[in-house]
Structure 1
Amino acid sequence: MKSPLIVALDYADPSAALDLAALLDPSQCRVKIGKELFTVAGPLLVEQLQDKGFEVFLDLKFHDIPQTVAKACHAAAQLGVWMLNVHASGGQAMLEAARKAVDASPHRPLLIAVTVLTSLDAPALQQVGVFDPVSVQVERLAALSAAAGLDGLVCSAQEAAQMKLAHPELCLVTPGIRPPEHIADDQKRTMTPAAALAAGADYLVVGRPITAAADPAQALAAMLAACAA
């Protein structure tokens, strides 16, 4: 079984990302490239990481008119990425256009949706005209993503059990994963690897516990062990 761990390469410098990747075993994890790193390094870094054997989650959260998002998803699929994401709040037409774009690719990546950003609480949603509780909006957008034929969702580990029960066909990607000894840090909605997997998460995004460790390879091995704890 492939490792559920995805290491977040949250760097501003592609050389730092490549240096970290050189310390990791691609059979033990995948890697995630976000907006900052992709803006700096572009498709070349995706290719370099894939050449090292890593499967890449391109975390760019596309959100635009359907045609623009479809073209962006097509371009990402052409890079050979393993997974990419869009904002579910772009609406059903946008989600379906994105899904059709990846379906047409010879190398079809997983396509997942972001529902409600963890930075948004009830007052923030009200500012943009959403007066339902956050949990209701999350479920509404999750159902829309499922109806559009997407493969999964990004959600907090605390929402994983609810989402897996409501949409067992969707894979769940959960950030905020911490080993037990690091569970109390500045991340507020965290969970241990074993607890997140037990709750229904399929893939676990891990950043600083590995990238900031004195020995990233050892930290990765410890996280893998923690998945089975």
Structure 2
Amino acid sequence: MTADSNPTKTGRSIFTIASQRTFLIAALGGFVSWSAMAIQMSATPVAMTGAGHKFVQVTAAVQYHLLGMFAPSFFTGTLCNWFGSRLVMLTGFLIELTGTLLFQRGFEVGHFNLGLIIVGVGWNLGYVGASVLLTKSYRPEEKTKTHTLFEVIVMISISISFFSSAFVEQFIGWMLLTGRLVTIYLSAAILILVIDTTFVFYKTKSIRTEITTNDKEVEIPVLTIEAA
């Protein structure tokens, strides 16, 4: 039995895994969907209180948001199977963008309630889509370290958003905050397309070729031809 037929228990290095197109897109999707949702969810009570709304209205808005976050989980996995995790993730970005644009319409209770519901639904599709896509980027023996790196990236995004939300809302205002998030959504979507395009058209010096089959990255063995 050759060494090639006996892969190591640890698999590839984390740097090799993280440099894959599939992992990069999944990590970017998880980072953006979580950070954008978290900063809006945590800054909304500050914005609503500043707009003169009552505490009971603020808590109701957050409850609606939680409903939007988790209710779609009953069918998001099915959507990933039907349409692919990349498309579901990008659709989540679009839905989150729609909710953020609704915040730009005004400071009425309805704007906050409906906006938070839509942002929650978008987060669900974006994060679940990214998580499903992540599973296509590693081999069985690489699962633990790949998920660890992914969760670290996501937790960093959550921490930044939650700790900075109140300060940012007070410093630049609710309208400017949500306006900047619109730019982030669009930039993330464009960056994902750039990553895809770069990996498709970039020609490396190595003969080894990497292809994608059903979102699963597969390595084609190198064929070595020696002159007689």
TM-score > 0.5 by shorter chain: no
Give the TM-score taking structure 1 as reference length.
0.22
Rg comparison, structure with higher value: 2
- Name the structure where strand makes up a greater proportion of residues: 1
Give the TM-score taking structure 2 as reference length.
0.23
Structure with the bigger RCO (C-alpha within 8 Å, sep 6+) is 2
- Name the structure where helix makes up a greater proportion of residues: 2
